[in-house]
Amino acid sequence: MASLTKHWNPGLTWLCFALLVHSVASLLLPGIAPRDYKEGEDVPLSVNEMTSVRTQLPMDYFKTHAVNSQCGVVADKSAEVSANLGELLSGQMMSPTSYKIQMLRSLKCQIACKDQLSAELKETIKQMIRSVFAMFFFLNLLTWAKGSSGAVPFTTMFAVLVLWFGISVPLVYLGAAAAYKRESIGFPCRVNSIPRPIPPQPWFLRPWLLCLVGGILPFGAVFTELFFIMSSLWQHQFYYLFGFVVLVYLVLVITCAEVSIALTYFQLTAEDYRWWWRSFFVSGTSALYVFGYSLMYLGTRLQIVNVVSIVVYVGYMAMISAAFFLLTGCIGFIATFFFVRAIYGSIKVD
């Protein structure tokens, strides 16, 4: 203790504490690279779209007719900032403007432009603001017909098709060929060729009731985080808690596995051996709660008044819920499969 007190440096301790506080206060949003500007240097300003809480169809900034070259906007579509595939799929097309902004130079009450809008033009602007691949293509046609910038260009859709048929499909056949050469999974014990009669089951082991009850826990595991993810998707809010969402995903995997295993065990103790599809639907039914929550989110958090926007929202949430159903169902079935093999493999048959 005397040696520790002798070499203790108060200044170094306070310096480390200050650095720790500074690092905690720092924030870097994903996808936004920091850049240093010198005093007086021009800072470019780009625009992408106009959004509203009353519609989920973003409008191209240059197609609103309320902004033009007189208001400091360069409507040169050839000068668009390059975007990655994710930005193209979400309709995030950046375009430069001619607004003059300089680093550390304050300008107060500067008039950007003056323009007289007719009553017809004002009404047009108001209408614009208010306003799985086959389903995705159908929804994309709806957004394209509305003149929304969120519509995926045809060239981008063609590139996605090339990636799908050029990479995903060959990998599927390659995996099938490799699996065909492997030995099939055998039963851990002897199985009768004649199915055994199943005794009458109690009311609480009915399939529809097991599925409804089993889907509550996986949905409850992601309920809180689902709110922030949907706010990021539909209300244009930043989401940067990716480490926490990985933790939530692990909790979801564990919950789906435990729920399917527990309910399958109750089913097997009641001498009902039809557990294959039931183990899939028990955890997969959580997608039904996700879709129901999305409808509640539509009615309570969003202010959509356009029919096309509602169709787009419900369509995309239906596809997301279907993907969630496949994910959670597969997790539950795989976990139950290994559980059943383990318990039946431990049976000693003389």
Q: Is 271 helix (H, G, I), strand (E, B) or coil?
A: coil
Give residue-wise pLDDT tens across range 98-144: 677 788 877 766 666 666 666 776 666 556 554 466 677 777 777 77
Mean per-residue pLDDT of the chain: 76
CB atoms within 10 A of CB 143: 21
- Residue 42's DSSP bridge partners are 102
pLDDT band at 19 (very low <50, low <70, confident <90, very high): very low
Res 280: pLDDT: 94
Per-residue pLDDT, 75 = 46
Would you give the DSSP letter of residue 183?
P
pLDDT of 293-341, one tens digit each?
999 999 898 888 778 788 888 988 999 999 999 999 999 999 999 999 8
Q: Which two tokens stand for residue 348?
A: 């000693």
Give me the residue spans of the domains in the chain.
41-103, 131-184, 203-349
- Three-state secondary-structure class, residue 301: coil
pLDDT beyond 70 at 248? yes
Q: What is the mean pLDDT of residues 197-213?
A: 89
277 vs 158 pLDDT, higher one: 277
